[in-house]
Amino acid sequence: MPNAKSLAIRPEGRRNKGRSRRESNNTLAYSRTNARATVQCAWCDRRFDGTDEYLTGRVRCARCGVATTSPWPSDEQLSAAYADWYRPESGRFSGLGDKVLRRTRSALADRLHRVLPPGPVLDVGAGDGTLVDAFVRHGRDAVGLEPHASGPHIRNAEVEDVDGNWSAVIFWHSLEHLRRPARALSHAAALLSPGGTLVIAVPNATSLQARVFGDRWLALDLPRHLVHLSPPALVSKVEALGLRVERVSYLRGGQVVFGWAHGLVGKLPGHPDVYEAIRRTEARQAAQSPAFRLYALAAAVVALPFALAATAVEVAARAGGTIYIEARREPATEESRR
Ligand SMILES: [Zn+2]
């Protein structure tokens, strides 16, 4: 694995400078971090050589096709990137945003609760615990893992620290944030009881929107996203762990229409950022004038029909902006493993 400490990354200095300009491109700003390029694939551990593809802020592995964020961020850089503005106590989004998030998490919990075998659920990267709370309301034991968070059902631990038997392990837009995502998945698969299900939602780095928007694609989110996955890489990894992939969706993981709206608006003069515009004032990276915010929001309204049409196209082409997977451990597989 790339080891941040061995890379002697210079203390953060440029990020804030880059972010204070609202037209700044986060991917480009991060890629200018004064540190050596990442030397190893964070997904398959291959050492990079001249055959890999060097992109802005990431390197795409010639073996597995997964891109790794480059340079590999130091712990200090990640702490700065997750500073309070990212997820303040009062919620991230203004108006309906946080309500919509809660509603969709609730719908996911309702459906999974119906199809899962009895037993507890583990949510890796639980955020403020919305999904966990939805399972608890169904009367199911649920534990969420989230660094620096607290709550009756939230633990500050890594998935590798967890043992026991779980009816589901869920990575809802969290796998791409982990320093050792493949190892986390292997451990998660071993935690599943017979009939238990691994649920994963991640951005699709080979989606149509990722290709159209390139370095400005919303879901690159450097340096918080450390790996940039493709459907074949994710599916083959899960199958190699002895699980049967029962559902792949390019819409269910969410953020697909929003990815298009954000990208289309970002192509306008001044590169307005809809994601910033819908966040509460205290959850924004940089100050935004009311007029510029209004410009971004108005543009998003105009872009919405186009975003919906583009979403329909990319989902039909099985190249949607997110990958959602459900994979089950079958009882027979469990026995043959031993
Ligand atoms: Zn690789």
pLDDT at res. 283: 62
**Ligand 1: centre distance to CA 47 (Å):** 8
Res 280: pLDDT: 66
Dihedral sign for Cα atoms in the order 136, 141, 146, 151: positive
Distance 41 CA to ligand 1 centre (A): 5
How close is the Cα of 317 to the center of ligand 1, in Å?
A: 25
pLDDT for res 16: 39
Whether the per-residue pLDDT at 110 is higher than 90: the answer is: yes
HSE, side-chain direction, 13 A CA sphere, residue 199 = 26
Q: Summarize pLDDT for 58-85 with one digit per residue, the tens.
A: 999 999 999 999 999 999 888 888 875 5
Q: Calculate how far, in angstroms, residue 210's C-alpha sits from the geometric centre of ligand 1.
A: 19
pLDDT of residue 159: 96
Task: Give distance in angstroms: CA of 66 to centre of ligand 1.
Answer: 6
How far is ligand 1, taken at its centre, from the CA of residue 199, in Å? 22
H helix runs in 146-240, sequence order:
181-191, 208-213, 231-240
How far is the centre of ligand 1, averaged over its atoms, from the C-alpha of 148 (Å)? 30
* pLDDT tens-digit series, residues 245-262: 999 999 999 889 999 999
Task: Determine the distance separating the centroid of ligand 1 and the alpha carbon of 164, expressed in angstroms.
Answer: 30
Locus of tokens 């507890």:
120
Q: How far is the CA of 60 from the centre of ligand 1 (A)?
A: 8
> Cα(272)–Cα(295) distance, rounded to whole angstroms?
8
pLDDT digits (tens, 9 = 90+) for 94-105: 555 667 777 888
Ligand 1 center from residue 61 Cα (angstroms): 5
Which residue did the predictor score with more confidence, 281 or 216? 216
Q: How far is the CA of 43 from the centre of ligand 1 (A)?
A: 5
Which tokens in the block code for residue 20?
């204070």
Centroid of ligand 1 to alpha carbon of 52 (angstroms):
9
For the segment 171-195, the average pLDDT, to the nearest whole number, is: 96
The percent of residues in the chain predicted with pLDDT above 90, rounded, is 65
Q: Which of helix, strand or coil describes residue 298?
A: helix
Q: What percent of the chain has pLDDT over 70?
A: 84
Please give the distance, rounded to the nearest whole angstrom, from the Cα atom of residue 273 to the centre of ligand 1: 31
Question: What pTM does this model have?
Answer: 0.86
Q: How far is the CA of 6 from the centre of ligand 1 (A)?
A: 20
Ligand 1 centroid–CA 216 distance in Å is 23
Type of residue numbered 18: G
**Ligand 1 mean position to 196 CA, how many Å?**
28
User: What's the rounded mean pLDDT across residues 163-180?
Assistant: 96
> Is the model's pLDDT at 14 over the cut of 60?
no
Residue 167 alpha carbon to ligand 1 centre in Å = 30
Q: What pLDDT is recorded for position 84?
A: 56
* The dihedral formed by the CA atoms of 215, 285, 173 and 124, expressed in degrees to the nearest 10: 140
Whether 64 and 234 have beta carbons less than 8 Å apart is answered as: no
How far does residue 233's CA lie from ligand 1's centre (Å)?
Answer: 9
| Residue 290 pLDDT > 50 | yes
Looking at per-residue confidence, does 132 or 105 come out higher?
A: 132
